[in-house]
Structure 1
Amino acid sequence: MTEISSIAISALSAQEAEQRIGDLAALIHACVHDGASISFVLPFSLGQAEAFWRDKVLPGLLVGGAVLLAAEDEGRIVGTVQLDHDTPPNQPHRAEVRKLLVHPEFRRRGIARALMTELERHARGLDRSLLTLDTRTGDRAEPLYSSLGYETVGVIPRFCRDPFDAGKLDSTTIMYKTL
């Protein structure tokens, strides 16, 4: 567990995540409404947010192929990140970073950096030596990833729909880090 003042970071089990679906949904809902490009476009309801955690994240936690880290402030989930390590037999050395989220009210406090540091610790504990991720080109997270030692492989243009303007297509930057 990592702590930043009143922020505690720990891994949530599948059971804990299921019990906290409402908190997790509120986090991703706030992030999408603040412009985060994390697979969703507006309008985006709390029901859709709950379905994401229930249908897309919980199955990986249940089978042990993913780690969900949560940053909490006085019992409130204010950030999360996922480590997907359910890889094929020829890739037991790598994992994928997914959905780094920090609630808009809690940004600029080092929470994202602490989540990523803890994620890398978990990856090492799983004998993973290569982490990959993608982020919207020019997004707030891109400089963070670079400062943590992630290297850019390239940019894929017109990769995803913009969360606010469904007619606009954003690029994504593909990054990696060797641990």
Structure 2
Amino acid sequence: MTSDDLLVRRAVHDDAEEIFALTREFAMSVRPRREPFDQHLPALLDNPDALLLVAVVNGHVRGYLLGFVHLTLFANGHVAWIEEAVSQHGFRRRGLGRALLEEFETWARGRDARYIALATRRAQEFYQALRYESAGTYYRKTLMSLEDQA
């Protein structure tokens, strides 16, 4: 794949089918359901503090990144958080993740973010190669019922 084959851009509603398919590859502990996805996608696309990017290869969405910028007290301003980032199986190690992160970094800088953070147990070498450093342990507490997770 050449860089001419790859386009990173903001997601649009017409990308919904391919993004939803990728959410099913991304999710490990919660099974994405279509009804909530369809309900939440327009809100994310319209949220000025959110950025949903897609990596398009030959006209098809093969990766996406969802991130946010928000104010903090401890960092003296805005920080950026990557909530979801995935490249389709079979399209990994082709530059999609790097291109998505670089575009998100540009957006976060434009929003005066002090830094970017994310939580992951996968792809440590990838993030370290892009100069991300390990900074803590990730904790979570599930607040939804088991029925909502299925």
TM-score, normalised relative to structure 1: 0.67
Q: 2:23 aligns with which of 28, 39, 51?
A: 28
Paired residue total: 140
* Equivalent position SS for 2:131: coil
Tell me if 1:117 matches 2:116. Answer: no
The Cα of 1:120 is off from its aligned counterpart by: 0.5
CA distance in structure 2 between the aligned counterparts of 1:114 and 1:6, rounded to whole angstroms = 12
* Equivalent position SS for 1:26: helix
Question: Which deviates more, 93-102 or 57-66?
Answer: 57-66
The Cα of 1:56 is off from its aligned counterpart by: 4.1
Q: 1:99 aligns with which of 84, 104, 109?
A: 84
Kept after mapping to 1: 8 A contact 2:50/2:68:
yes
Structure 2 unaligned blocks of 5 or more: 143-150
The Cα of 1:58 is off from its aligned counterpart by: 3.3
Structure 1 unaligned blocks of 5 or more: 162-179
Amino acid at match of 2:18: D
Correspondences of 1:44-123 after superposition (within 5 Å): 44=31, 48=33, 50-51=34-35, 53-85=37-69, 87-88=70-71, 90=73, 92-123=77-108
Residue equivalent to 2:147? none
CA distance in structure 2 between the aligned counterparts of 1:106 and 1:82, rounded to whole angstroms = 18
* Equivalent position SS for 1:155: coil
Cα deviation per residue 1:11-50 (whole Å; 9 max; x = unaligned)?
A: 12xxx2x222111112222x24xxx53x52xxx46xx1x3
CA distance in structure 2 between the aligned counterparts of 1:80 and 1:117, rounded to whole angstroms = 13
Cα deviation per residue 1:51-89 (whole Å; 9 max; x = unaligned)?
A: 45434443233131201110001211000111211x246
Kept after mapping to 2: 8 A contact 1:66/1:82:
yes
CA distance in structure 2 between the aligned counterparts of 1:117 and 1:151, rounded to whole angstroms = 16
Tell me if 1:144 matches 2:126. Answer: yes
Residue equivalent to 1:175? none
Q: What is the root-mean-square deviation of aligned Cα atoms in Å?
A: 2.6
Residue equivalent to 2:148? none
Kept after mapping to 2: 8 A contact 1:93/1:128:
yes
TM-aligned CA distance change 1:55 to 1:88, over 3 Å: farther
TM-score, normalised relative to structure 2: 0.78
* Equivalent position SS for 1:99: strand
